[in-house]
C-alpha cells in the first residue's frame, strides 16, 4: 500500500514556541500541518497563514489534549483534510510557578498530569491507531517533546513537571518497541532552557536566560534549534532511529 502524496502531520500545542517553530519548518519541508491549539486561536491562525504564505498547507485545530473526545476529533479533522496521518508531534504541555512538592495543591498536580501525561498518552494512542500498518495505516513517525527536567528532577522548582516528562520518556521507550514492527518510529526530544513563552506562564520570564547562562554552551536555546531535532526525527533521514531520547540542552 503506497503512502499518500501529501504528508499529513499533527502538532499538538502548535501555535507558539517549539510547536510553532516545528510547524513552520515542517511546512517548508512538505508536510501538511495540523496546528493544534487550546486557547490562542489568533496565534494558531497566524502560524497557519505563515505556512500557507510560504506555499505550504496547514490548518488550525482547536482541542484540549486532556479531553479524549477533543483528541479523537483533532485526529479525525487533520486526516479528513489531508489524508492518512504520517507524522505526529506530541508537544502540548503546561508548567506552573516555582514550588516545592510539599507546598503543591492537588489542583496543580491534577492539571499537570492531566495535560502532560494523560494528554501525551491519549495523543500517542491515537497516533498509533492512525499510523500502525496492522490497523490500515501507512506507518510514520511520532515525536514526543519531553524535557531535560526528566533526568534533572527540577527540585525546588517544577518537580511535578519533571515527573510528568519522566512519564513521557517512559512512554517513548515502550511505545517505540510496540510500534517498531508496524512501520511507526517513536522518539523524544528533551529540550533544556529554551526561549519560549512557557517560562512566563510559570512566573519566570527570564528563566531561559538565567539557566541558559549556566549551561556548558553558556546560552539559552532557540525554539528553532529544537524544531530542527524534531523535524529530523520526522524525516526519512532518521529511518533507523526509534526509542531515542535526544537532549537539546546546550550540554546541561
Q: In the chain, what are the domain boundaries?
A: 7-248
How many Cβ atoms from other residues are within 10 Å of residue 241's Cβ? 15
Residues facing residue 7 across a β-bridge: 31
**Residues 147-192: tens digit of each pLDDT:** 999 999 999 999 999 999 999 999 999 999 999 999 999 999 999 9
Q: What is the pTM of this model?
A: 0.94
Contact 244, 191 (CB under 8 A): no
pLDDT in the model for residue 19? 97
pLDDT in the model for residue 226? 97
| 7-248: CATH number | 3.40.50.720
Q: Which of 148, 197, 154 is nearest to 168 (CA)?
A: 148
Compute the Cα dihedral for 251, 101, 120, 65 and give only its sign.
Answer: negative
CA distance 205 to 211: 11
Write phi, then psi, for 229 (nearest 5 degrees).
-65, -40
CA distance 188 to 176: 10
Which residue has cell 504541555? 93
DSSP secondary structure code for residue 149 in this structure: H
Task: Kindly tell me the burial class for residue 105, based on how many C-beta atoms sit within 10 Å of its own C-beta (0-12, 13-18, 19 or more).
Answer: exposed
Measuring CA to CA, how many Å separate 232 from each of 73, 136, 142, 241?
27, 25, 12, 10
Contact 174, 147 (CB under 8 A): no
Quote the cell numbers at residue 152.
Answer: 534533572
Query: C-alpha 248: how far from its chain's center?
Result: 14
Residue ranges of the chain whose pLDDT lies below 50: none
Catalytic machinery residues: 161
Amino acid at each position: 500500500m503506497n503512502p499518500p502524496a501529501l504528508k499529513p502531520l499533527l502538532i499538538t500545542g502548535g501555535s507558539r514556541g517549539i510547536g510553532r517553530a516545528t510547524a513552520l519548518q515542517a511546512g517548508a519541508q512538505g508536510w501538511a500541518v495540523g496546528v493544534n491549539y487550546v486557547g490562542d486561536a489568533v496565534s494558531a491562525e497566524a502560524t497557519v497563514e505563515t505556512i500557507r504564505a510560504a506555499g505550504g498547507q496547514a490548518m488550525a485545530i482547536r482541542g484540549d489534549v486532556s479531553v479524549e473526545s477533543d483528541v479523537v476529533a483533532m485526529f479525525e479533522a487533520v486526516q479528513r483534510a489531508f489524508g492518512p496521518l504520517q507524522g505526529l508531534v506530541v508537544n502540548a504541555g503546561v508548567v506552573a510557578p516555582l514550588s516545592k512538592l510539599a507546598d503543591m495543591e492537588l489542583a496543580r498536580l491534577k492539571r499537570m498530569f492531566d495535560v502532560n501525561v494523560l494528554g501525551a498518552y491519549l495523543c500517542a494512542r491515537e497516533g498509533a491507531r492512525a499510523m500502525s500498518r496492522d490497523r490500515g495505516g501507512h506507518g510514520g513517525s511520532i515525536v514526543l517533546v519531553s524535557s531535560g527536567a526528566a533526568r534533572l528532577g527540577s527540585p525546588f522548582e517544577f518537580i511535578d513537571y519533571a515527573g510528568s516528562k519522566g512519564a513521557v520518556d517512559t512512554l517513548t521507550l515502550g511505545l517505540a518497541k510496540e510500534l517498531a514492527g508496524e512501520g511507526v518510529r517513536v522518539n523524544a526530544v528533551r529540550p533544556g532552557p529554551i526561549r519560549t513563552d512557557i517560562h512566563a506562564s510559570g512566573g519566570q520570564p527570564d528563566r531561559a536566560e538565567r539557566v541558559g547562562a549556566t549551561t556548558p554552551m553558556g546560552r539559552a536555546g532557540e525554539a528553532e534549534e529544537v524544531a530542527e531535532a524534531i523535524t529530523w526525527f520526522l524525516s526519512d533521514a532518521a529511518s533507523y532511529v526509534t526509542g531515542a531520547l535526544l537532549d537539546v540542552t546546550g550540554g546541561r
